[in-house]
Amino acid sequence: MKVAIGGPLKLAFRPWVEGLENVPAEGPAILASNHLSFSDSFFLPAVLDRKVTFIAKAEYFTTPGVKGRMTAAFFKGVGQLPVDRSGARGAGEAAIRSGIEVLERGELFGIYPEGTRSPDGRLYRGKPGGLARVALATGAPVLPVAMIDTEKIQPPGQVMPKLMRPGIRIGKPLDFTRYQGMEHDRFVLRAVTDEVMYEIMKLSGQEYVDMYATAMKRQLAEAAKAEKEAEKAHRAAVARADKEQAEKLRAAMEQADRKETGGPSER
């Protein structure tokens, strides 16, 4: 996949990279990145010599049919790891277990602390569960990563990607071994996550929003729904007004016609 996907990707988009020297040549490490685009999971592994394992929902690997098998083969090839979200505690626990297993094998584990793609290009509050717990359970260093301009390559609704140079900045490793054994302390988890997000913010130059991206997406969806309903109500009101106006006009024309032709009382 590095040859089939990574090579053409680098040739076509020519991504620039800073901080490659911060990625260890061997041994476990966590790449904690902002998340602007679906393509983030392709550009970052493409510029690294080592394999990076991300997590992906299990549905990508279990969809039946030819298309489903092709999708599963593709995601396996690019280092995606299936996570079953149907468990008692959902994707969070499954992601943590998967991340620990990857790091215990001495590999690189990629994670997006925001939990989902940014809806507007800003940096959102990191979720404290996955990243911090994996880091504290394994003692692996955390490398903050900033993806830059990847959301501009293929904005929502655009079919063909725009050929432009995205950027990747990889920061110096952060050591959280001082907190080992405290992975169930929510205040420690919050502190670790916030420290990583602060480093990502410095690398990316993004505006920071102190709320979860999922909450912002819900707000935007609710606002879009309310706007759609308001527009629908407006169209209905205009239609009613037009109908009433047409009825009044028709009644006036009928009255005028009766006056011209003469009604029964006039005859």
Query: Which H helix or E strand runs over 235?
Result: helix 213-261
In terms of pLDDT, which residue wins out, 235 or 67?
Answer: 235
**Per-residue confidence band for 88, with pLDDT thresholds at 50, 70 and 90:** very low
**If pLDDT is split at 50, 70 and 90, which confidence band does 33 have?**
very high
pTM for the structure as a whole: 0.80
The pLDDT of residue 67 is 75
> pLDDT-derived band of residue 220, with 50, 70 and 90 as boundaries?
confident
Residues in contact with 169: Cβ distance below 8 Å, sequence separation at least 6, in sequence order: 17, 18, 19, 145, 146, 148, 203, 204
What's the pLDDT band for 38 if we cut at 50, 70, 90? confident
Q: What single letter denotes the amino acid at residue 101?
A: E
Which residue in 57, 19, 41, 28 sits closest to 135, CA to CA? 28
Residue 80 pLDDT greater than 80, yes or no:
no
Distance CA 117, CA 111 (A): 12
Mean pLDDT of 213-234: 87
**pLDDT mean over 60-64:** 76
Whether the Cβ atoms of residue 32 and residue 113 lie closer than 8 Å to each other:
yes
* Closest alpha carbon to 82 in 51, 105, 113, 55: 55
**pLDDT of the residue at 85:** 56
Residue 201 has pLDDT above 90, yes or no: yes
Q: How many other C-beta atoms can be found within 10 angstroms of the C-beta atom of residue 260?
A: 7
Is 118's pLDDT higher than 90?
A: yes
Is residue 124 over pLDDT 90?
yes
pLDDT value, residue 153: 92
Six-digit token string for 216: 């912002």
* Per-residue pLDDT, 56: 73
Counting residues of the chain whose pLDDT is more than 90, the rounded percentage is 49
Can you give the pLDDT at residue 90?
53
pLDDT, averaged across the chain? 87
Give 263's pLDDT tier (boundaries 50, 70, 90): low
